[in-house]
Amino acid sequence: MVDAPRYLLGLDAGNTVIKAVLFTLDGKQVAAHGIDGATHQPAAGMVERSVPELCDNARVAIGQCIAKAGIDARQIAAIGTAGHGNGLYLLDTDRQPLLGIQSLDSRAAQLAGILDRRAGKALHAICLQRPWPSQTPVLLAWLKQNRPDLYGRAGTLLFAKDVLTWYLTGELASEISDMSGAGLVRMPEAVYDEELMRLYGLEDAQGMLPPLHQPSDVVGTITTQTAARTGLAEGTPVVAGLFDVVASAMGSGAALPGSASVVAGSWSINQVFSTEPVKDERVFMVAAYGPNRYANMENSATSAANLEWYVRALIERGAHHDDPFGFVNELIGQVSPRHDDPLFQPFLYGGRLGSHYRASFFGLAGWHSEGHLLRALYEGVMFEHRRHVSVLADAGVGMDQAVLSGGGSRSAHWPQIFADGLGVPVTVAEARETGALGAAMMAAVGVGLYQDEVEAAGAMTRAVQTYVPDPAMAAHYERRYGIWSTLNAASDPIWQELLSERPHAG
């Protein structure tokens, strides 16, 4: 074992899939295994998952990853975790799983509006974020009002990745990137704040907040029990980890202040890194990930989640495609863009400007094929990313180039659509599992293999391709983006009416 190579393990808990990915110390992927978990929708707007299933899926993913790599688990130098932000994960007062709510949940939309009207400005002044439906404290406040039985049993508030840390080490811990991304700390200091909790109506929940760490802090080690369950080596260090959108940016190489990251995953993530947080109410959130390190973000659940729904609902039915996403890209490749192509509104899970937003295809004609529908979906997702990017630019943190990560970066066509539609060069990283790599980078920093995230990114990330905007497409997308924006504005009262239980006014 003295001369055996050493590795880093990154765990990435998305809204559905949990992945275990093994990397060399210079960031090369060795093996990976993912498990797709079940999503439960007990009522309209509710999106939940089983916390015990998440832990068991992590157990299987880790074991299978180590088996595929064929290594001795003692060669793993450290473990990092990443996971989707917001939503709500609770353990009870006996440290047993109580509830898991995903960040696509919208049950608290009405309460978010009430909180925003009552205390939105005061909240933003403290945490640089206003209330929104699946924000962690808003969901906790909803639980307090609507499920006091569950609220009364709650002992510890965690995030998805923190559940993994608890499962692996037995330690209850979180860190500043998830907590700031959820609006649960005072910014820019990134510390807990009693006045903040009072504004949410959660002054009695201060004790639910776990110890707060920096992302690269070692918070525990693999226990004897976990080693027996997973195949990991007892005593392996585990660091606090990262909010997955920050982890994905890190893993794609966007670690320096001034760099920009676009994540086309379940959520549309658009972030510019800086040494000072942006204090502008138009910007969705600011996440701290270290001293003088901030990710300024414009986000919404409007990105590749639309494609995932389309594939599962319309392409995978009957299981008649072995490679459904490859089939999607083949269909898009058969279509040449035209000025009168259909448009897609990517709001299956609501929008940043309103949880009442809904998805639709618009402008279909009899000669359009499924390829036209899918290209419209790709464009509609890009257009909402473009709208987010314009908000950041108006707040003083524009981007003149970007690194694209997330599932959308693996498409043969989407990166070029992003480059053409955003009008900036778009680089795609070599790493496919950028979230897990970002987590592994924090693990490397935590055990002293690299000084900080910038040094780790320099050693562990590489670009594989850069897509340059096609000047011939600039006018095409400028025109279509204008029409798409007009369509959304015109649809707003219709969406409002659709959700209203009042008789139609006629």
**Owning domain of residue 70:** 7-299+429-465
Q: Please give the structure tokens belonging to residue 407.
A: 């599932």
Q: What is the pTM (predicted TM-score) of this model?
A: 0.89
Total domains, the chain: 1
CA distances from 180 to 11, 150, 430, 473 (A): 21, 25, 29, 38
| Residue whose tokens read 């924000």 | 135
- Show the low-confidence residues of the chain (pLDDT under 70): 1-2, 318-321, 502-506
Angle, CA 9 vertex, CA 3 and CA 13 arms, to 5°: 175
pLDDT score of 1: 56
Q: Is 481 helix (H, G, I), strand (E, B) or coil?
A: helix
Domain contains 326: no
Token pair recorded at residue 94: 């006996």
Q: What's the pLDDT score for residue 504?
A: 62
The pLDDT value given to residue 505: 57
φ, ψ of residue 406 to 5 degrees: the values are 90, 175
The CATH number for 203's domain is 3.30.420.40
Name the residue among 387, 162, 210, 392 with its Cα closest to residue 285.
Answer: 392
Residues 6+ apart with CB under 8 A from 346: 268, 302, 303, 306, 359, 377, 380, 381, 383, 384
Report yes or no on 219 lying in a domain. yes
Instruction: Let me know if residue 361 belongs to a domain.
Output: no
Beta pairing class for 343-345 and 360-362: antiparallel
Q: Is residue 294 part of a domain?
A: yes
Instruction: Look at residue 166 and tell me if it is in a domain.
Output: yes
| Cα angle: 474, vertex 414, 369; to 5 degrees | 90
Q: Is residue 423 assigned to a domain?
A: no
Strand pairing partners for 465?
428
Report if residue 38 sits inside a domain: yes
Domain membership flag for residue 221: yes
